[in-house]
Amino acid sequence: MNSTLDGNQSSHPFCLLAFGYLETVNFCLLEVLIIVFLTVLIISGNIIVIFVFHCAPLLNHHTTSYFIQTMAYADLLVGVSCLVPSLSLLHYPLPVEESLTCQVFGFIVSVLKSVSMTSLACISIDRYIAITKPLTYNTLVTPWRLRLCIFLIWLYSTLVFLPSFFHWGKPGYHGDVFQWCAESWHTDPYFTLFIVMMLYAPAALIVCFTYFNIFRICQQHTKEISERQARFSNQSGETGEVQAFPDKRYAMVLFRITSVFYILWLPYIIYFLLESSTGHSNRSASFLTTWLAISNSFCNCVIYSLSNSVFQRGLKRLSGTMCTSCASQIIAKDAYTVRSKGSINGCHV
The pLDDT, as a whole number, for residue 228 is 74
Task: For residue 8, name the pLDDT band (cuts at 50, 70, 90).
Answer: very low
- Number of Cα atoms under 13 Å in the Cβ half of residue 219: 6
| Cα separation, 349 vs 345, whole angstroms | 13
* Mean pLDDT in residue range 257-271: 85
* 287-315 mean pLDDT: 77
**Which one, of 195, 172, 115, 192, lies nearest residue 290 by Cα?**
172
State pTM to two decimals: 0.75
**In this structure, what DSSP letter does residue 22 have?**
E
**pLDDT at res. 15:** 66
Q: Residue 178 burial by CB count (10 A; 0-12/13-18/19+): exposed, middle or buried?
A: buried
Position with higher pLDDT, 114 vs 34 = 114
CA end-to-end span of the chain:
63
Q: Are 180 and 96 in contact (CB under 8 A)?
A: no
Give alpha helix (H) positions in the chain.
2-8, 29-55, 64-81, 83-89, 98-132, 137-140, 143-161, 179-184, 189-195, 201-236, 246-278, 283-294, 296-307, 309-339
The larger pLDDT score, comparing residue 349 to residue 66, is at 66
Using CA atoms, how far apart are residues 217 and 223, in angstroms rounded to an integer?
Answer: 10
* The pLDDT of residue 272: 83
pLDDT digits (tens, 9 = 90+) for 208-250: 898 888 888 877 877 777 777 767 666 655 544 545 555 666 6
Looking at residue 254, what is its pLDDT? 74
The 8-class DSSP code of residue 28 comes to E
Mean pLDDT value of segment 174-179: 68
Residue pair 157/15 in contact by the 8 Å Cβ criterion? no
- Count CB neighbours of 57 within 10 A: 10
| Residue spans per domain, the chain | 28-227+246-321
The amino acid present at 17, given as its one-letter code, is: L
Q: Comparing 104 with 183, which gets the higher pLDDT?
A: 104
pLDDT band at 150 (very low <50, low <70, confident <90, very high): very high
What pLDDT is stored for residue 111 in this prediction? Answer: 92
The pLDDT value given to residue 192: 87
Binned at pLDDT 50, 70 and 90, residue 135 comes out as confident
- Asked if residues 209 and 132 have their Cβ atoms less than 8 Å apart, the reply is no
Closest CA to 272 of 166, 345, 199: 199
Confidence of residue 4 (pLDDT cuts 50, 70, 90): very low
List pLDDT tens digits, range 88-126: 666 566 666 777 887 888 888 889 989 988 988 898 898
Is the pLDDT reported for residue 172 higher than 60? yes
Helix axes 64-81, 29-55, angle to 10 degrees: 150
Residue-level pLDDT at 341: 47
Share of the chain above pLDDT 70, in %: 67
Q: State the average pLDDT over residues 54-60.
A: 65
For 27: left if phi > 0, alpha if psi spans -120 to 50, otherwise beta; the answer is beta
Split at pLDDT 50, 70, 90, the class of 159 is very high
Are the beta carbons of 189 and 276 closer than 8 angstroms?
A: yes
In the chain, pLDDT over 90 holds for what percent of residues? 9
Strand partners, 28: 21
In angstroms, the CA 39 to CA 80 distance is 7
User: What pLDDT sits at residue 1?
Assistant: 33
Beta bridge partners of 27: 22
Q: Which residues, 6 or more positions from 218, have their beta carbon under 8 angstroms from its beta carbon?
A: 131, 245, 247, 248, 251
155, pLDDT greater than 90: yes
pLDDT attached to residue 9: 41
Select the more confidently predicted residue: 3 or 335: 335
Do 126 and 64 touch, CB atoms closer than 8 A?
A: yes
The CATH number of the domain covering residues in 28-227+246-321: 1.20.1070.10
What per-residue confidence (pLDDT) applies to 3?
37
Q: Lowest-confidence range among 67-71, 157-161, 176-180, 337-341? A: 337-341
Pairwise CA distance, residues 26 & 42, whole Å: 26
| Highest mean pLDDT (candidates 107-116, 209-218, 287-296, 325-334) | 107-116
pLDDT range class, residue 141, cuts 50, 70, 90 = confident
